[in-house]
Amino acid sequence: MLKTFTSKFAAAALVLLLVGCGTNPVTHKRELQLVSESEEISIGQKNYMPARQQQGGDYIIDPELTTYVQSVGKKLAAVSDRQLPYEFVVLNNSVPNAWAMPGGKIAFNRGLLYELNSEAELAAVLGHEIVHAAARHGAQSMETGMLLQGAVMATGIAAQDNRYSELIVGSAQLSSQLIATKYGRDDESEADLYGMHYMKKADYDPRAAVTLQETFVRLSKDRNSSFIEGLFASHPPSQERVAANKATLAQLGEGGVWGREIYAQKVAKLKATRPAYQDYDEGVQALAKGDTNKAETLAKKAIAIEPREARFQELLGDIAVKQNHNEAALGYYKRAIEMQPDYFRPYVQTGVVLNNLGRKAEAEPYLKRSNELLPTATSYYVLGQIAEDRGDVRGAMQQFGIAAGSETETGKAAIARYQRLEIASNPAKYLQAAAQADNMGYVYAVVYNPTEVTLANVHVIVVHFNATTRQPDNQSVSLLVAANLPPGKRGQLKLPGIQVYKPEDLKLYRVLVERAELAK
């Protein structure tokens, strides 16, 4: 299968070189295939859902629209060079963007659908993304280790309006890297070129790929365009791309379906509710700036236009949390969950609010459910607190350990909590203990606390070793050295009746930390 694909690409590339386009889309990288096709498919399958979750979730209000986008995607996938378990979804995200994951998992933002004017333009974007998946561009990034450059990727994700990426923990972190992949110029040219071939084969007019690029060039001159953080972040439009697409068009020939009317009809409902989503997006920003009144006005305006949208209820919940109206917030989140049960965030929020209200047992299932949908540091952290309150130290450490994978304030707090618990569960590893003698030769058990944590009820056992055999021959009962031992302090206990007269004798006593607790 792969061979056919490569040779087809090679043949077409040769034609392209002959017409003098100057690009060489066949990449020799393809020979080095470290990620197998089945691994690639499994990576796509595992990461598709967390990636969609962190990009706003699926747009479920208009299932007919999703079916339509899927039908166009399927037509193009059917003529692609590599058969993959292709899937297409519309995301509830206003940023004009689209992405493909290894294994053929493709997502199209609501925000990009507003900007297109025909089915052929939709096909141009989908065809381009299908090539990225079919030609293994993402999988190659993984092989060359590009995805491991976490810091670089994190900036890329931030630019993609991903509010939650930093909070994602565990294996789902890969999903945010996969959708933030920036392909190289060669990959982009290849996706443009073969995307147009697919359009032609599926009976769409490939000229739509030229007009679309021209529109993008025009839009890219507007620095305030939301495209800047969306599609253009990974696909900077340029006159060169327009020229390359024109050359491809000359080769393929114009003609084919445009589907302007069907497109207009299918996106009519979406476009009619666009103002609601503009109000919502502004409302989210207003709330981030602390303007709850403005946020509330905007959320209510949005709901008046589109009462079925779960995100609008969630925004009302967030506003209520900010105003300390916790009971009201729970009501809004409940409604958001009823409207869209498969989106993680209202579950996180419900769990956090319930925990703050002291309703820990109720909070737990919400936090667990949210982690199934998208594992976040927030949920793991709160689950850790709940486990700790219950006295489940091991469980709490496990939760804090996962939350610690996030480079956020929550992640840092989780590290601190984890360390506290670890110190308490294994104080001997952290506290320094020794036998010391005063100038009269009286022996003391001394414990020093070098950690950042105040410990309580620090107990030791003093062991005596035989001077000749060097084996322990006597040991004390458990002795309380310090009821309270703050960071950087030492505690000591005089061992009754024990006196030494030379330094060698002191060396026969060893002080072992037996147990300690976290100070309340």
CB distance 100 to 130 below 8 Å? yes
Contact 518, 457 (CB under 8 A): no
Residue with smaller CB distance to Zn ion, 50 or 237 = 237
Binding mask 193-232 for Zn ion (x = CB under 5 A): ----------------------------------------
Q: Which is nearer to Zn ion, 21 or 423 (CB)?
A: 21
Please give the C-alpha separations between residue 114 and each of 108, 181, 393, in angstroms, as whole numbers: 11, 24, 51
| Closest C-alpha among 193, 178, 173 to residue 137 | 178
- Interaction mask 51-70, Zn ion, x per CB under 5 A: --------------------
Q: Do 30 and 140 meet the contact criterion of CB atoms below 8 Å apart? A: yes
String of contacts with Zn ion for each residue 264-293, x by CB under 5 A: ------------------------------
Write down the least CB distance from residue 78 to Zn ion, Å: 21
Q: Which part of the chain contacts Zn ion (CB under 5 A), choosing from 5-13, 119-127, 191-199, 209-217?
A: 191-199
Q: How far is the CB of 192 from Zn ion (least distance, A)?
A: 8
Q: What is the DSSP letter of 511?
A: E
Q: Which is nearer to Zn ion, 87 or 188 (CB)?
A: 188
Angle subtended by helix axes 119-134 and 185-201, to nearest 10: 130
Work out how close the CB of 107 gets to Zn ion at its nearest, in angstroms, rounded to a whole number: 13
DSSP-H helix ranges across 55-171: 63-78, 110-113, 119-134, 137-143, 150-159
Q: If DSSP codes are grouped into helix, strand and coil, which group holds residue 158?
A: helix
Using CB under 5 A as the binding criterion, the count of chain residues that bind Zn ion stands at 2
Q: Which one of 83-91, 189-197, 265-273, 281-289 is the stretch in contact with Zn ion (CB under 5 A)?
A: 189-197
- Nearer to Zn ion (CB atom), residue 206 or residue 401: 206
CB of 191 or CB of 374, closer to Zn ion: 191
Are residues 344 and 53 in contact, defined by beta-carbon separation less than 8 angstroms?
yes
Residue 455 interacting with Zn ion (CB under 5 A): no
Name which of 100 and 374 has its Cβ closer to Zn ion. Answer: 100
Cα(92)–Cα(336) distance, integer angstroms: 14
Token digits of residue 57: 């979730």
Query: Is there binding between residue 191 and Zn ion (CB under 5 A)?
Result: yes
- Number of other residues whose CB lies within 10 A of the CB of residue 15: 10
Work out how close the CB of 108 gets to Zn ion at its nearest, in angstroms, rounded to a whole number.
13
Contacts of 196 (CB under 8 A, 6+ apart): 124, 127, 206, 209, 245, 248, 249, 252
Cα–Cα nearest to 176, from 163, 194, 191, 187: 163
Q: How far is the CB of 6 from Zn ion (least distance, A)?
A: 20
Residue 239 CB, shortest distance to Zn ion, in Å, is: 17
Contact stretch for Zn ion (CB under 5 A) within 185-193, 219-227, 259-267, 423-431: 185-193
| Least gap, CB of 121 to Zn ion (angstroms) | 15
Between 191 and 321, name the residue whose CB sits nearer to Zn ion.
191
CB-closest chain residue to Zn ion: 191
Q: State in angstroms the smallest separation of the CB of 128 from Zn ion.
A: 5
DSSP string, 400-463: HHHHTTS-SHHHHHHHHHHHHHHHHHSHHHHSEEEEEE-TT-EEEEEEE--SSS-EEEEEEEEE
- Which CB atom, from 84 or from 191, has the smaller least distance to Zn ion? 191
Location of structure tokens 């790929």: 209
Rounded to the nearest whole angstrom, what is the least distance from the CB of residue 87 to Zn ion in the complex? 18
Query: Is 363 among the residues that bind Zn ion (CB under 5 A)?
Result: no
Q: Which is nearer to Zn ion, 111 or 401 (CB)?
A: 111
Contact, 352 vs 380, CB < 8 A? Answer: no
At closest approach, how far in Å is the CB of 1 from Zn ion? Answer: 22
Grouping H, G, I as helix, E, B as strand and the rest as coil, residue 101 is strand
Min dist. Cβ of residue 374 to Zn ion (A): 25
Closer to Zn ion by Cβ: residue 171 or 239: 239
Residue 106 or 437 having the CB closest to Zn ion:
106
In whole angstroms, give the CA distance from residue 419 to residue 452.
9
Q: For residue 500, what are its two tokens? A: 């030494």
Tokens of 42: 């499994």
Per CB under 5 A, the segment of 111-119, 190-198, 249-257, 380-388 that binds Zn ion is 190-198
Stretch that binds Zn ion, among 44-52, 186-194, 246-254, 473-481 (CB under 5 A): 186-194
> Which residues contact Zn ion (rule: CB under 5 A)?
188, 191
